[in-house]
A and B are shown apart, each in its own frame.
Chain A
Amino acid sequence: MKTFKDGLVFLNGKFVKKDFAIDNNGKITFKISKGVKAEDLKGKKVIPSLFDLHTHTRCPGQEYKEDFDHITKAASHGGFSEICAMPNTKPVADNEAIIDYIVLEAEKFPRCKIYPFGSMTVNLEGKKLSRMGLMKQSGAIGVTDDGMCIQNTSTMVKAMQYASTHDLFIMDHAEDINLSSQGQVNEGETSYKMGYGGIPEIAETTVILRDIELSRYLEIPIHITHVSTKRSAELILKAKADGVQVTFDITPHHLSFTEKDCLGFNTDFKVNPPLRNEKDRKFLVDLVKRGKVDAIATDHAPHAEFEKEFAFNNAPFGISSLDTAFVLLYNTLTIKAKIPLEKWIEFISSKPRNLLKLPQKELKEGVMANFFIFDSEKKWKINADDIFSKGKNNPLIGKILNGKIINTYFRGKKVY
C-alpha cells in the first residue's frame, strides 16, 4: 500500500484535493487509514495516464533510431500509459508475424502498453492489400499507410472497404506525393528564403477532400492524422457538419511551432507535414480551445543523431516528441493560450481511446493505478539527458519550459 496526500487529483473533469493510495493489488483506493506514512504531493497534480495515437516505435528493424526499452521509458517519462506503434518498420508491419513480434517484445518492457497498427498495403507500396484480418487477430488495433499515403484512389477504396470488413480503425496521412516530393519546408516565404522546395498546403488538402468523399460514399469512418493547416481543418469540420464520419488529430508541434522556426536550418524542426505559418497555428490552437478537435497525437519520430546532422535536405522528417509532448502542450495551450489543462487533457487521453473503442484510464476506486504526477509550477531546462527516447531530435533541448512530470505509475507500479 502506497499512500499520497495533498495532491490535486483529476476526477470527473476537475482537479480536487484528495488523498489516495495504491493498494497491494496495484489498484486505486480512497479508503485511507489514518496516521499511515504518505507521500506529500504538496498540491502537485495527479492525472490519469495519457494515450498517444501516433508513435513511430521503429522496431523491428530500426533499433538504431529507437527500441522498445527506450520508447517505453520515453512514454512513461511523458505520462503515457498507451501508445500506438506505426507500421513503417523494417520489415513493414504488413502481416501477423510482425504484429505478433511487436506485441510479444513490447510486453517485456512493462512501462506502457503498445498497440500496433498494421499497414493497409503490403510494404506500404500502395498496391496489394495487407493481411488486415490476420493482423487484427494478432493484436493490431488499426491500419494506416502513415508516411506513404496511398496515392491511387481505387486502391484506397479497396483498402478502406477491406479494413472496414474487419472493423479496423483507419487512419490516413493525407499527402499527395507528386505535389510534396520536392519539398523540405512549407511552401511560401520560408521555402523561398531557405532556397528549398516547398510542400504546399494543397498536397494535404486535396487528399483530405478525396478521403472525405470516399468516407461519405463508402460510409466508412476515416481518421486524418496530423492535420497541419487551417484549410485542412475547415474542410474536415464542414464534412463533419454534413454528417461524414471523419475525425482528425493535431500534433503538439503544429500547435507550438511555425515554419519560421526552420529558417536557421535546424533539422529538428523538419517534419512532415511541415510546420506551417502563424495563421494556421493560431487557428489550430483555437480549435482546441473550442473543443473541435478529436485528438492530439505526438507523431513521435525518433532519428539517429548522424541522420539529422548538417544538410537540411538530407535529414529525415520528424521530431522525437514523446518525452516532452505533454509539457509542450501545457506551455502552448495553458500558459500561452490560457486554455485550462482540464479542457484539453481529454484530447490526448479519453478522446483517442474512444476513437479506438478502448477502456478509459480513470482515477476511481478499485481500478488499476495508471497515472502521473505533474508539478505545474516547476520551471526547468531540458537537456539531452532528459530525452529518454533514443532519438535526440527534439528542438526543445536547451529550452526552458514550465511544468515537469515527476513520477508515472503504470499498472500500479512506479515506472518513472
Chain B
Amino acid sequence: MKKHLITISDLSKNEIIEIFKQGKVFKDILQRPIKKIPTLRGKTVGLLFFEPSTRTKLSFELAAKRMSADTINFSASTSSLKKNESIKDTIMTLEAMKIDIYVVRHPSPGVPAMITKIIKGSVINAGDGAHAHPTQGILDAYTVWEKFGDVKGLHIAILGDVKYSRVIRSDIEIFLKLGAHLTLCTAKTLMPNWIDPKVKYTTNIEKAVKDADVIMGLRMQKERQDSAIIPDEIEFNTFFGIKNIKIANKKNNYIVMHPGPINRGIEIDGDIADSKHSVINEQVTNGLATRMAIFYALFQG
C-alpha cells in the first residue's frame, strides 16, 4: 500500500480486497471479550478534525486504540480555520511531536493532500469537503462484499444529495473498481455537472431500484446547500426518498445502506431504516474493522 490514503485511487483492486480480508479478521476479534491487539504499540495517531464529526472520529479513535496506538486529538474551532496559515503552523507543531499517522478531516478539499507534502509520516483522509472520504467508501464496499460474497455484477442504486457528497465520490470510485453497476437517482439540482460515464442516472426512483441489490441513501447536506435547490423536504421525500411504497415490488434479498447520520423522513423513511433489509448499524461496526485494517495495511507497507 502507498504511504498515504487520500482517495480510492491510491489503492489497487488487490489492495482493497486485502483490506476486506483483514477487516474480516478484525471484525471477528471485535466479537471477543478482549478486543485489543498490539499491532500499533508505540505508534502515535493524530486525529486532526478541522470540522465537526462524531462517528468518523470515534471510529478512527477506537480503531487506533484497539490496535494499542497512542492517540492525540486536535479539533479546531471554525473561526481559527479562516486563517489559512494556521493550518501549516498547526501541522508543523504536531510534526515536532513525532506523529506517525495523521487522520485528517477538513472542510476544504485538498488539505489532506497538501499535508502529505510537509510531514514525514502517513496521512489518512477522513473527509475533505466534497472531494473524498475513502475510508467511508471502503467500509461501504466491505459491507456489500461481506453480504454478497462479491461486489462484481451487483446493481447498486444511490439516492439523495449527490452534488454535495464526498461519500458518493469515493463510493462511485470503489464500486466501479470492483465491477458493480451504479445508478444514481435524485433531482437534477442535486447532481453535479459531470459524472463518470459508467454511472447511470435517472430521475425515476422505481426504475433506479428495480434491479437493485443495494439501495443506498445519501444525507441531505443541508448545511452546504445554497438556496433554491429543492422546493422543500416533503417534496424531496415524495419523489426521491427511500420509501416502502416506492421499493415494494423489488427482489427480496436487497440491503439498504446509509453512511449516516440519517435524516428520517427526508432521504430515508424510518420504517425502512429500521427494517430487516437495513444494514445501517452494521456499517458502523464494519467501519471500525476496516479502519483497523487500513492502519494495519499502512504499517505493513
Query: A residues touching B (Cβ–Cβ < 8 Å)?
Result: 182, 187-189, 191-196, 198, 200, 264-265, 306-307, 309-315
Q: Write the chain B residue with the least CB distance to A314.
A: B84
Q: Within the complex, which residue of B82, B88, B106, B131 is in contact with A194, where a contact is CB–CB below 8 Å? A: B131
B129 part of interface (Cβ distance < 8 Å): yes
Contacts of B106 in A (CB 8 A): 311
* Contact in complex: A195, B128 (CB < 8 Å): yes
Inter-subunit contact B193/A265 (CB<8 Å)? no
Given contacts A195-B130, A196-B130, A314-B84, 6 further A-B contacts (CB under 8 A): A188-B193, A195-B128, A195-B166, A196-B129, A311-B106, A312-B109
With A194-B131, A195-B129, A196-B130 already in contact, the answer to whether A189 and B108 are too (CB < 8 A) is: no
Task: Produce 1/0 per residue, B65-85, CB < 8 A to A.
Answer: 000000000000000001011
Q: Does B58 contact A (CB under 8 A)?
A: no
- Which of B110, B114, B166, B169 has the most chain A CB atoms inside 10 A of its CB? B110
Inter-subunit contact B111/A195 (CB<8 Å): no
Shortest B76–chain A CB gap in Å is 12
- B88 and A195 within 8 A (CB): no
CA distance A264 to B9 in the complex (A): 13
The smallest C-beta distance from A389 to any residue of chain B, in angstroms, reads 21
Chain A residue at minimum C-beta to C-beta distance from B91: A310
Do B193 and A310 have beta carbons less than 8 Å apart?
no
Closest to A265 in B: B110
A310 and B169 within 8 A (CB): no
Contact A309 B88 (CB under 8 A): yes
Taken together as a complex, chains A and B put the C-alpha atoms of A191 and B109 apart, in Å, by 11
Q: Is the CB of A312 within 8 A of B193?
A: no
Asked whether B84 lies within 8 Å of A265 as measured between CB atoms, the reply is no
B248 neighbours in A (Cβ, 8 Å):
none
- Given the known interface contacts A195-B130, A195-B131, the answer about A309 and B85 at a Cβ–Cβ threshold of 8 Å is yes
Whether A188 contacts B87 by the Cβ 8 Å rule is no
Instruction: Determine if B132 and A310 form an interchain contact, defined as CB atoms under 8 angstroms apart.
Output: no
Given A192-B193, A195-B129; A315-B109 close (CB under 8 Å) = no
Q: Is the CB of A312 within 8 A of B110?
A: yes
Question: How far apart are A82's CB and chain B's nearest CB, in angstroms?
Answer: 35
Known: A194-B110, A195-B109, A265-B109. A310 touches B88 (CB 8 A): yes
Query: Which residue of chain B is the closest to A178 with respect to CB atoms?
Result: B226
State the CA gap A314–B50 with chains docked (Å).
14
- Give chain A nearest CB distance to B5 CB in angstroms: 16
Whole-angstrom CA separation of A307 from B195 in the bound complex: 32
Q: Considering the complex, give the chain B residue whose CB is closest to the CB of A181.
A: B226
CB of A268, distance to nearest CB on chain B (Å): 13
Tell me the smallest distance from the CB of A411 to a CB of chain B, in Å.
41
Report the bound CA distance from A206 to B108 in whole Å.
29
Q: How far is the CB of B164 from chain A (nearest CB, A)?
A: 9
Q: Which residues of B contact A (CB under 8 A)?
A: 82, 84-85, 87-88, 106, 108-111, 113-114, 128-132, 166, 169, 192-195, 226
Q: Which residues of A contact B195 (CB under 8 A)?
A: 192
Residues of B within 8 A of A306 (CB): 84-85
Contact A311 B192 (CB under 8 A): no
7 nearest A-B residue pairs (beta carbon): A195-B131, A265-B110, A311-B108, A195-B130, A195-B109, A189-B194, A192-B194
* Nearest chain A residue, comparing its CB with the CB of B112: A265
Chain B proximity of A106: nearest CB distance (Å): 31
Q: Are A191 and B110 in contact (CB under 8 A)?
A: no
A310 in contact with B129 (CB, 8 Å): no
Q: Which residues of B contact A312 (CB under 8 A)?
A: 108-110
Residues on A with beta carbons closer than 8 Å to the beta carbon of B85 = 306, 309-310
Q: A198 near B84 (CB under 8 angstroms)?
A: no
Given that A182-B226, A310-B114, A311-B84 are contacting pairs, would A194 and B109 also be in contact in the complex, using a CB cutoff of 8 Å? yes
- Give the shortest distance, in Å, between A360 (CB) and chain B (any CB): 44
Are A191 and B194 in contact, with the CB atoms below 8 A? yes
A187: B residues at CB distance < 8 A: 193-194
Given contacts A192-B169, A195-B131, A196-B129, A310 and B111 within 8 Å (CB-CB): yes
Residue in B82, B113, B193 whose CB lies within 8 Å of A191: B193
Of all chain A residues, which has the CB nearest B133?
A: A195
Closest approach, in angstroms, between the C-beta of B195 and any C-beta of chain A?
A: 7
Whether B194 and A309, one on each chain, are in contact in the complex, defined by CB atoms closer than 8 angstroms, is no
Contact A188 B114 (CB under 8 A): no
- A182 to B129 CA separation, bound complex (whole angstroms): 13
Closest A residue by C-beta to B129: A195
Chain A residues with CB under 8 Å of B108's CB are 310-314
Residues of A within 8 A of B111 (CB): 310-311
Q: Is the CB of B169 within 8 A of A195?
A: yes
Query: How many Å lie between the Cα of A182 and that of B189 in the bound state?
Result: 14
Are B132 and A195 in contact, with the CB atoms below 8 A? yes
Of B84, B85, B131, chain A has the most CB atoms within 10 Å of the CB of: B84
A346 to chain B, nearest CB (A): 37
- Tell me the bound Cα distance from A195 to B166 in angstroms: 7
Q: Which residues of B contact A191 (CB under 8 A)?
A: 192-194
State A278–B106 Cα separation when bound (angstroms): 31
A192 lies within 8 A of B192 (CB): yes
Q: A295 to chain B: closest CB distance in Å?
A: 31
30 sample A-B contacts, Cβ–Cβ < 8 Å, listed by A number:
A187-B194, A188-B194, A189-B194, A192-B193, A192-B194, A192-B195, A193-B131, A195-B109, A195-B128, A195-B129, A195-B130, A195-B131, A196-B130, A198-B193, A200-B193, A265-B109, A265-B110, A307-B84, A309-B84, A309-B88, A310-B84, A310-B114, A311-B84, A311-B87, A311-B106, A311-B110, A311-B114, A313-B109, A313-B129, A314-B82
Chain B residue with the shortest CB-CB distance to A188: B194
Q: How far is the CB of B70 from chain A (nearest CB, A)?
A: 27
Q: Name the B residues within 8 Å of A195 (CB-CB).
A: 109, 128-132, 166, 169
Name the B residues within 8 Å of A188 (CB-CB). Answer: 193-194
A312 to B111, CA, bound (A): 8
Q: In the complex the two chains form, what is the Cα distance from A189 to B111 in whole Å? A: 20
Residue of chain B at shortest CB distance from A201: B193
Q: How far is the CB of A304 from chain B (nearest CB, A)?
A: 10
Chain A residues near B87 (CB, 8 Å)?
Answer: 310-311
A292 to B88, CA, bound (A): 46
Residue of B nearest to A312 (CB): B110
Contacts of A196 in B (CB 8 A): 109, 129-131
A192: chain B residues at CB < 8 Å are: 169, 192-195
